[in-house]
Amino acid sequence: MEQIRRAKNQRLSDLNEQMQKLEDAHIFQRSIDAAVYERHRDRIQEEIALAELDLHDSRIDEIDVKGLLAFAEHLISNLATVWMEATLPQRQEIQAALFPCGLPFDGERFGTALTCLMFSKSQGSSEPGMNNPTWG
């Protein structure tokens, strides 16, 4: 993410440098006429505006990712409290996220549920069948 942002900053810096060179060529060196200057100025200004928007969007995306990760950490760390305070639709969504294949129930007893990938990887288990729903 940081590498992408640096590349976008570099692109914006390059465009601003192009604009400066264009202005120097028109104002100080008088090597290009007004029509050529205006055409190139408009193009570079448009590219600068787009580059600034792109950079701004990437900053917002980074903030959103950080916020989302903080929320996920809070949710997992406080799952019991969140569950107790959740509405029925929210509980259903939490349950679907934690148990993507549902909770096996044969009418008399519950089986072992397939949990979401986060719990499967965090268990550190490589036992066969650990991620398969079973009865028992």
100 within domain boundaries: yes
> Do residues 91 and 59 share a domain?
no
Q: In the block, which residue shows the tokens 């787009």? A: 50
pLDDT in tens, 19-39: 999 999 999 998 999 999 999
Per-residue CA distances from 29 to 18, 22, 32, 96 (Å): 15, 10, 8, 68
Mean pLDDT is lowest, of 13-17, 33-37, 44-48, 123-127, for 123-127
User: Taking residues 35-52, what's their average pLDDT?
Assistant: 94
User: Taking residues 1-22, what's their average pLDDT?
Assistant: 92
Question: What is residue 59's predicted lDDT score, i.e. its pLDDT?
Answer: 80
Q: What residue numbers bound the domain in which 49 lies? A: 2-77
42 within domain boundaries: yes
Question: What is residue 33's predicted lDDT score, i.e. its pLDDT?
Answer: 92
Reply yes or no on whether the pLDDT at 129 is more than 60. Answer: no
> Do residues 59 and 95 share a domain?
no
The structural domain count of the chain equals 2
97 within domain boundaries: yes
> Do residues 68 and 127 share a domain?
no
4 pLDDT band, cuts 50/70/90, is confident
